[in-house]
Structure 1
């Protein structure tokens, strides 16, 4: 079989299995094995490449496990009860206000307070009862969360946005095109605006109607989530210590740009400052692993899948094969490049990790076609961004599902991935396509 078809077939297999509600982790492993066998790798070599490549996602996986423990420790102190009670009083059941607040909080988690998805298991489960009481469609909540997790790092050069846009700039430079970070920021405004349009459509049209979750049967066992406590919140010493731990964790993460060190700092301080009793360490970590462990393992297997695709050479072969079609006007060339990028990033499920792969292949092709540096930045950034919304293996979809599926009534594929793909990837693709031609 020609190599360029391997990545297409394997990604299709993963997508189809996921749509058929096969466990995402199993779907990724099966797809990776299929790609390796189609490329002629022996079983031993395939397993070796897969497991070695998983190490590339170890930092992210460990970060999520530690963030899970940190989130459980924060919730254990009861400080989130005060915040949730305040939030419930402030929004007073108004669906538009609820979704707006969720968008703002999720956006802050990427740039101003870069905790990424760690806030979701703290904030969302206690609000599920409120969502159900006003019959709020959780697909709207998932869309709002994914927008906040993704749009800020695409458009704003702060926090994760600084890292993402810096990766685009650095990889373009390594491949022969010098571009200022400010130009990358300007270039990425277009796909970000496409996301904003998709969000508006999702919240005001697609998922505007009420949805009665009392009529929906759970697809999985409900998580062990405590009932909402409506007793008056009293600020205590442990809550002050919790705030200190949170600030310290954020400071370490910002200074070191390492989520692992930030989460570890927060966890250690929670116990040293006795915000959480030492004897509760085992329980806190067990619950943290239970909450975030599946996401961590999925990210590990996604790294293994990416490694197998790279080992087979199928990604490069797909782009090279597509380059034979790249004759004619720039609009058609940009369309093919973004379509190839969509296939690759949907399979790997990470915006940050696919930029180096795409830059090596996109820069020479786009340069030969006469695209400007800013247009090439749009192509690379847009193709990378397509991996986060809609992909079963993306933390931007796994995080919202983890918070919304505590009662087993929110399906990862049909209630998170499909809505976010339709409302974000399609407008991102269109806005990125036409912007790359106009710049």
Structure 2
């Protein structure tokens, strides 16, 4: 074993990053401190590390802008009442159908519906996490009645929020696959096509699917009861919001415009702006309110965008240290002609660097 790897600036920097994150320090602060730490260890000095960090910030700016614009679109959709309508219809359907004999079928139908809604929140109706506070609280009484384990619901939401990123190059998946994954590969000098990524990502997506199935049919399959005091608090009914079908119709048109814009113009930013303009032209959102829509969109997704910008600066410092090349050479020498070992070690290094 090459013990010199223990002094690798990339490895030490990532360890520091993980330690700071585990201590609950803000992730952007952690990225900045860890990148400077790695640069100093590699001999760049504080000034060199900071300069490299600044040089890499531009690489994440486009991604951050995509997140901000999709966040604005998410806020516009939520104002149209589309997500509230879905929640109300689902809740009304549940109230009519639940009986003792139908509980088994209904439970797994509800699981399937929640999974599809979570998946759609990343592409078809790109509201990201904004649908959770709208949809889940009204369903808490239903979860209680069918004794559904809420940990299973958490797994379903996690699967739906993350897996579409991997295999569907639409909405937030377009940012991740085309901008983050393929953008980084091309920056390293490898020529790849957009169509290659989804197929390659089927393997980790299959792992996510396996985990979801284990959670649904094994880990959290058994009925679970919660304390009466907690459920009484959570199950208080909220006054249903009055929904305009016209606004919902405008929301559906805006969603179609956003999807078409992504495919025809290959620009998530332009597609999001056009979708918001649909709301403005229909009078659902006033022109002067677009400032508020954008501000709330930045509040919703801007944090993620800033993390991506800081991560881009961190990556540039790690590249400048030369530590990544050193790790790759060590792996190449250690693995020799054993392809399986080489693949495993590359995945391990990739995991360390990606953290």
TM-score normalised by structure 1 residue count: 0.63
- Give the CA deviation at 1:109: 5.1
Matches within 5 A, 1:193-342: 193-208=206-221, 210=224, 228-231=238-241, 233-236=243-246, 238-327=247-336, 329-342=338-351
Unaligned 5+ runs, structure 2: 99-105, 232-236
1:225-244 deviation per Cα after TM superposition (whole angstroms, max 9, x unaligned): xx9542554413x3333322
Alignment partners' CA distance in 2, 1:51 and 1:194: 36
The answer on 1:129 being equivalent to 2:137 is yes
1:317 and 1:143, CA in 2 relative to 1: closer, same or farther beyond 3 A? farther
Compared with structure 1, are the counterparts of its residues 185 and 281 closer, same or farther at alpha carbon in structure 2 (3 Å cutoff)?
A: closer
Matched residue, 1:39: 42
RMSD: 3.7
Q: Are residue 105 (structure 1) and residue 117 (structure 2) matched?
A: yes
C-alpha spacing 1:231/1:340, structure 2 compared with 1 (3 Å): closer
Q: CA deviation at 1:255?
A: 1.6
1:4 is displaced (CA, Å) by: 6.9
SS at match of 2:63: helix
Query: Where in structure 1 are there 5+ consecutive unaligned residues?
Result: 217-226, 348-439
Please state how far the C-alpha of 1:108 moved relative to its aligned partner.
4.0
For residues 129 and 185 of structure 1, the distance between their equivalents in structure 2, rounded to whole angstroms, comes to 34
2: CA distance, partners of 1:279 / 1:129: 31
Contact persistence 2:261–2:271 (CA under 8 A): yes
Q: Which has the larger radius of gyration?
A: 2
Q: Is the 8 A contact 1:126 1:228 kept in 2?
A: no
Alignment CA distance shift 1:266-1:103 (3 Å): same
- CA contact under 8 A between 1:59 and 1:260: conserved in structure 2? no
Q: Secondary structure at the match of 2:245?
A: coil
Per-residue CA deviation, residues 377-403 of structure 1 (Å, 9 max, x unaligned), is xxxxxxxxxxxxxxxxxxxxxxxxxxx
- CA deviation profile, 1:168-224 (whole Å, cap 9, x unmatched): 9x96xx759x99968x766654443222211112333444564859769xxxxxxxx
- Per-residue CA distance 1:121-163 (angstroms, 9 max, x = gap): 1x11113424554366665444333433444454568784899
Q: TM-score, normalised by structure 2?
A: 0.76
Please report how far the alpha carbon of residue 16 of structure 1 lies from its aligned counterpart in structure 2 after TM superposition: 2.4
**Contact (CA 8 Å) 2:71, 2:298: kept in 1 or not?**
yes
Residue pair 1:154, 1:161 contacting (<8 A) in 2 also: no
Aligned equivalent of 1:54, options 32, 53, 57:
57
Distance 1:52 1:85 in 2: 49
Are 2:52 and 2:316, in contact at CA under 8 Å, matched by a contact in 1?
A: yes
Is 1:192 paired with 2:192?
A: no
Work out whether residues 3 and 314 of structure 1, in 8 Å CA contact, stay in contact via their aligned partners in 2.
no
Q: Aligned partners of 2:343 and 2:201: how far apart in 1? A: 15
Q: Which has the higher contact order (CA 8 A, sep 6+)?
A: 2
8 A contact 1:61–1:297 mirrored in 2: yes
